Structure 1
Amino acid sequence: METHMLNAPPTDDLEAVLLRAMRLSNPELSRFEPLRRIISHDDFSRGHCGWSQLVGNYEDTLDSMLPGYAQHTSAMLSTLGHWDAGSHGGVDSSYALKIATRPRPGAQNVAIKRLAMRERGPIRFEAYVTFKPEATELKLGDTDVRSFGFLFDLQGGDRDHGVERVMPHMRFLNAGNGEHVQKWQFKSQISEMRKLGDTDKTATHYHLAPDGWEDLPNGDQRLCYNEIATKVNWNYIRFDFDLADMRATSFRCNDREFDISGFEPMRIPAMKNLWCMLNFCLFAETDVAKRAFLYVDSVCISGDF
């Protein structure tokens, strides 16, 4: 046997080397660190890429929808337009996804991507985001956005053992009552579940209610927020979760890796029509009577399977 064959790397190692080389040669993917298989790569210069309004459950009448959901509106494609210089644009294109709240203190808005899982293994959620209030005043407004964040909505398959609906939530609490807070929080407390209608097929709960958030240990972080109300800088977030064990494994924002050993997601008894659910959400919340914007340049969801 020839020497070069004896010294050849194992097939798995060779595959990893080739995948890494291919991704690093692609400018759109090289800003991410995906796991082995890319589930979706959402570059909003190509459109909404499956991200839509989080519509609350209802039955018989729209009035049965909880107020938290009734406030939501559709995410938009935006050039990050502003009055003093025209448009900011995305990281490397003209467009980003814009999630905008209503101009009311405490108002929230949520965009969602709805998928179903094919394997139970590690997944990774990565995104480039920025946040700011609507630039309606000639001042910075750096405490006008209360929070932004992300959440997953997960449930195993109909033949899995001990299935639960599991909902990891993470938010950056930027400010409250005009004062900076600037720390990461998670939420494991479950909101009240309400049944809708008389068919026992639909229930609802508003899991982004303001109560029940807990501080992530050593989760304080000051993010880049530029000097005037129309400037933005993009932040990188990465969250890893194991669908086999239904537990978080790591969280990173920009240059910081956080300890999530105390992180716990919401856990709810499995629901009868949500098998293999793999949903992802991004949200924004305002602290003042001014719209808060979460802009999302791109998202990469990947898995190790």
Structure 2
Amino acid sequence: MTQEIEALRQELRLADPAMSRFDPLRRIISHDDFSRGHCGWSQLVGNYEGSLDTMLPGYAQHTSAMLSTLPHWDAGSHGGVDSSYALKIATRPKPGAQNVAIKRLTMRKRCPIRFEAYVTFKPEATELRLGDNDVRSWGFLFDLQGGDRDADARRVMPHLRFLNAENGKTLRKWQYKSGQTEFTSIGNENKTLSHYHLSPQGWADLAGGDQLFCYNEIATKVNWHYICFDFDLGTMRPLRFACNDREMDVSGFESIEIAAMPNLWNMLNFAFFVETDAAKRAFLYIDSVCISGDF
């Protein structure tokens, strides 16, 4: 009977055009189609105390994600995979500027989860040139912490980025970030800490992570790319990472790990980020996201 139910579940999913492009685990945690709105993705606001001026500079540069039709000057709007809208994350027009969108959840069970999305990236089309090295990087991260009764609860932050170019040099490779980041006390009451974990330091190359993308011939054309990252909330270890037709080796992958923090129990956060390498805005567009779990 269990096999029959699972087969029916798969048939129902494959019959749904919005879901059949994904390969979710047994239970859907969220399915975000940005033709329906922001779906809980918001600006990553840094910690502050007493004044917004106490926010670390890395966070102070962030702005809100927007719903976008992917407009461009030469042919109107590009639109999403199968609707008019996608979520747009845009940097400021300064080399090294970053921006982040985050979705904040909590976990029900320490189980394997799967994070799938269709994304594309481009610089702002302010010049009649391709600009394929104008986006420095884009990627995603999880921000996780175990429950208040877990014996080994800790905060774990897996990061993956595609380093496209740096200082105009073509790189085209996947990287991860491990170790710990420096915390700064915010304000004067010793109640608030902050750390900017997307700083340039500490990134390492993912084994076999060199990859070339379809990056169309002019600055206003885009093609959508598929990403899938499996992570085990029980062991706090990655299980699998795939992008388009490539599956990467995650055996050497490490995450940022720090001691559990007193008000973040059961945290299950997801974020996308983008960084520019030029004096123009870089855009990361997300058409849709499916987060699922094996529970």
Fold-level match, TM-score > 0.5?
A: yes
Equivalent residue for 1:39? 29
Q: Does 1:76 align with 2:62?
A: no
Equivalent residue for 1:175? 165
Q: Does 1:111 align with 2:101?
A: yes
Q: Does 1:121 align with 2:111?
A: yes
Deviation string for 1:165-209 (max 9, x for gaps)? 000000000011212100000000322111223444321000000
Find the aligned partners of 2:108 and 2:93 in 1 and give their Cα distance. Answer: 40
Equivalent residue for 1:284? 274
Q: How many residues align?
A: 295
Q: Which residue, 123, 129, 132 being the options, matches 1:142?
A: 132
Find the aligned partners of 1:38 and 1:201 in 2 and give their Cα distance. Answer: 36
Q: CA deviation at 1:132?
A: 0.2
Over 3 Å off, 4+ runs? 197-201
Equivalent residue for 1:266? 256
Equivalent residue for 2:146? 156
Q: Percent identity?
A: 74
Equivalent residue for 2:178? 188
Q: Does 1:16 align with 2:2?
A: no
Q: Which residue, 77, 89, 95 being the options, matches 1:87?
A: 77
Deviation string for 1:132-154 (max 9, x for gaps)? 00000000000000000000000
- Gaps of at least 5 residues in structure 1 are 1-10
TM-score by length of structure 2 reads 0.99
Aligned partner of residue 30 in structure 1, secondary structure:
coil
Find the aligned partners of 1:104 and 1:223 in 2 and give their Cα distance. Answer: 24
Find the aligned partners of 1:12 and 1:168 in 2 and give their Cα distance. Answer: 34
Q: Does 1:27 align with 2:17?
A: yes
CA RMSD for the aligned pairs? 0.8
Aligned partner of residue 28 in structure 1, secondary structure:
coil
Q: Is the CA contact 1:189–1:213 (under 8 Å) kept in the aligned structure 2?
A: no
Equivalent residue for 2:290? 300
Aligned partner of residue 60 in structure 1, secondary structure:
coil
Find the aligned partners of 1:127 and 1:241 in 2 and give their Cα distance. Answer: 15
TM-score by length of structure 1 reads 0.96
Higher CA-based Rg: 1
- Gaps of at least 5 residues in structure 2 are none
Find the aligned partners of 1:247 and 1:201 in 2 and give their Cα distance. Answer: 30
Find the aligned partners of 1:23 and 1:30 in 2 and give their Cα distance. Answer: 6
Matches for 1:236-251 after TM superposition, within 5 Å: 236-251=226-241
